[in-house]
Amino acid sequence: MNDAKSDFAQHFDVSRETLDRLEVYAELLRKWTKRINLVASGTVDTLWQRHFTDSAQILGLAPPSALKWADLGSGGGFPGAIVAILAQAGNHNVDVTLIESDQRKAAFLRVVARETETPFTVLAERIEAADPVGADVVTARALAPLDLLLGYVVRHIAPGGTALLPKGIHALSEVEKARKTWSFTCDLTPSMTDPQAAILKIGEIQRV
């Protein structure tokens, strides 16, 4: 087992079976990324840290009572597919939906669900056109600036729901700008994978 995989297994306390599922996912990413742009080519060799750990840390911030989860603009499946795999391993009864408008990426995500034997739903639709999911938790990674992103989030979040949104070095300035058009609560959790990044935990979202 390589160091990155071992560190992941230890930190998130995952079983050998779950690691095997994640390795299947990693191999699919390596294979498909040669044909379509799932992840930046420079991050393929650091999947376990750059994408898997970055996604897995989000699950621990979700309310334990969450039953429905929507991941917007899922791309290569981050964080949605990782959340689904780990939730299943932890016997969390959460229904995960990934929304990805690119048909090729959506096809990839369906292969991931099948090959890793993980039950999640893939909607190959535009976020603003897909039927509202009514999710207890909504996630989106590297999709849009926060002021625009919240417009997508409110379409798919349930009343009282939580948005968990990874952001980079400009997280605070994005929050400040978004408050000009939105009212919301916001807690910041430092990212495990980037000292300049944070995960925004946002609730009570209303347009001003």
Task: Work out how many domains the chain is built from and give that number.
Answer: 1
Q: What's 49's DSSP letter?
A: I
Q: What b/e sequence results for 105-122 when a residue is b if at least 16 CB atoms lie within 10 Å of its CB, and e otherwise?
A: bbebbbebbeebebebbb
pLDDT tens by residue, 152-206:
999 999 999 999 999 999 999 999 999 999 999 999 999 998 889 999 999 999 9
Instruction: Give 145's pLDDT tier (boundaries 50, 70, 90).
Output: very high
Structural domain span for residue 148: 3-207
Per-residue model confidence (pLDDT) at position 1: 55
CATH code of residue 8:
3.40.50.150
Question: Mean of the pLDDT values across residues 5-10?
Answer: 88
Give the model's pLDDT for residue 49: 85
Structure confidence at residue 63 (pLDDT): 94
b/e per residue 2-29 (b: at least 16 CB within 10 A): eebbeebbeebebeeebbebbebbbebb
pLDDT at 60: 92
pLDDT one-digit tens code per residue, 40-90:
776 777 789 889 999 999 999 999 999 999 999 999 999 999 999 999 987
Give the residue, 37 or 62, on which the prediction is more confident.
62
